[in-house]
Structures are given as structure tokens and as C-alpha cells.
Structure 1
Amino acid sequence: MRAWVYLLVAIFFEVIGTSSIKLLVHDFPLIGYGVMYSLIGLSYFFLSLSVKKVPVGVAYALWEGIGIVLITIVSVALFNEQLGFFKIGGLGLIIVGILLIKSGTQSVAKKVTNYQAKEA
């Protein structure tokens, strides 16, 4: 369970770090880059903690996919960026992919648990 919390924290830092690029880099370039690199570094740190228990492919896919969706939401809300039909469709496909990856992870974990129980 803790590994999933680390993954959520990694996603949070990725979203804030990436969003800070547009907020800080133009007005305060040195501070902006420092904040961005620090937050992205923390994101990778927590991602590395999560992959101790979560398969690396699953963790990376969720980190990147959820991050893209949340960064897009932040961009629309804070920076008045526009969402077109294709962007919305792409985000929908990302969300479907995230759900498929997550459900595939659960079914594999159940099979492994059932297999281990039969062997014991």
C-alpha cells in the first residue's frame, strides 16, 4: 500500500514541477528552474520508492498517464489553454489505458496469490 502512496506523491510532484515551468520560468528564471528541477527530482525519487513493490512498467505508465491528464487540467484551469476534440479524445484514451493497466495488474496479482496458495 505504501508503494502506491509513493506513486501518488511522485505524480503530485511531477504535476506541480511541470506546471511551475510556465508560472516561474518567464518571471523568475533562476528560481523557476530551481523549483522545477527540485520538484521533478522529488518526483523521480518517490517513483523510485514505488517501484520497489509496483512493477516498473505499471508505475511508469501510471505516473506518466495520470501526470499528463492532471497537467492538462491545470493548463486549462490556470493558463486558459484550449482543449480540442483530438486532445479530449487523446486524454480519454490515456484514461482508458490507465484503467486497463491497473486492472491488469490486479488480475495478475490475484493469479500469483492463488498460484502461491495452491503450492503451499
Structure 2
Amino acid sequence: MIYWLFLGLAIATEIIGTLSMKYASVSGGMLGHMVMYVMITTSYILLSVAVKRVALGVAYALWEGIGILFITLFSVLWFDEPISLLKVLGLVTLIAGIMLVKSGTRKTPKSDDERGAQHATA
């Protein structure tokens, strides 16, 4: 469960970092760049922790896909970027793809060592 939290934090920091990049390009200030560097770096670190227990394909699909979804929505709301029917269709397709990747991933059975460790600590 904790690894899913790491993944969620990785997604949030990626969104903040990417939006900060846009903010820096619009404002011309260094604050946006500094936030971007810290958040993108943090995002990759958190993602690397999450993939210890979350399947890589699922983690990356969620990290990138949810990131794209929210970055697009916030760029429309905050930076007045246009949204077209094709963009909306692309986002819907993206969500469907994420759901397919997630549902098509099997849980790996726990090894005997992991089961024994759980029973020993219970």
C-alpha cells in the first residue's frame, strides 16, 4: 500500500514540476525553474521507490498518463491554452489505455520467504 502512496506523490510532483516549467517560461523568473528542478527530481526518486512493488508498466502508465491528463487540464485553466475535440478524445483514449494496462496486470504471488516473514511478525 505504501508503494501506491509513493506513486501518487510521484505523479503529484511530476505535475507540479511540469506546470512550473510552463510558469517559468511565461513569467521569466527563476522561481519556476527551481521548483521545476526540485519537483521533477523528486518525482523520479519517488517513482523509483514505487516500482519496487508496483508493476513497472502500471506505474509508468499511471505516472505519465495521469500527469498528462492533469497537466492538460491545468494548462487550459491556468494558462488559457486551447482545448479541442481531438485533445478531449485523446485524453479519453489515454484514460481507457491506463485502465486497460492496470486491469491487464496480474498480481505476482508472494514468495515463500515473504509469507514466512509475514507470519513471523504477526
TM-score, normalised by the number of residues in structure 2: 0.83
Match runs of 1:38-49 below 5 Å: 38-49=38-49
Q: Which residue does the alignment assign to 1:71? A: 71
**Secondary structure at the counterpart of residue 81 of structure 2:** coil
TM-score, normalised by the number of residues in structure 1: 0.84
| Deviation for aligned residue 1:27 | 2.7
Q: Which residue does the alignment assign to 2:15? A: 15
Runs of 4+ aligned structure 1 residues displaced above 3 Å come to none
Q: Where in structure 2 are there 5+ consecutive unaligned residues?
A: 113-122
Alpha-carbon separation, structure 2, partners of 1:54 and 1:85? 33
Q: Which residue does the alignment assign to 1:92? A: 92
| Deviation for aligned residue 1:86 | 0.9
Q: Which residue does the alignment assign to 2:102? A: 102
Q: Which residue does the alignment assign to 1:59? A: 59
| Deviation for aligned residue 1:62 | 1.0
* Percent identity for Structure 1 against Structure 2: 47
Q: Where in structure 1 are there 5+ consecutive unaligned residues?
A: none
Q: CA RMSD in A?
A: 1.8
Check whether the contact 2:17–2:40 (CA below 8 A) recurs between aligned residues: yes
**Secondary structure at the counterpart of residue 104 of structure 2:** helix
Check whether the contact 2:65–2:94 (CA below 8 A) recurs between aligned residues: yes
Check whether the contact 2:24–2:32 (CA below 8 A) recurs between aligned residues: yes
Amino acid in the other structure paired with 2:63: W
| Deviation for aligned residue 1:82 | 1.4
| Deviation for aligned residue 1:11 | 0.4
| Deviation for aligned residue 1:96 | 0.1
| Deviation for aligned residue 1:4 | 0.8
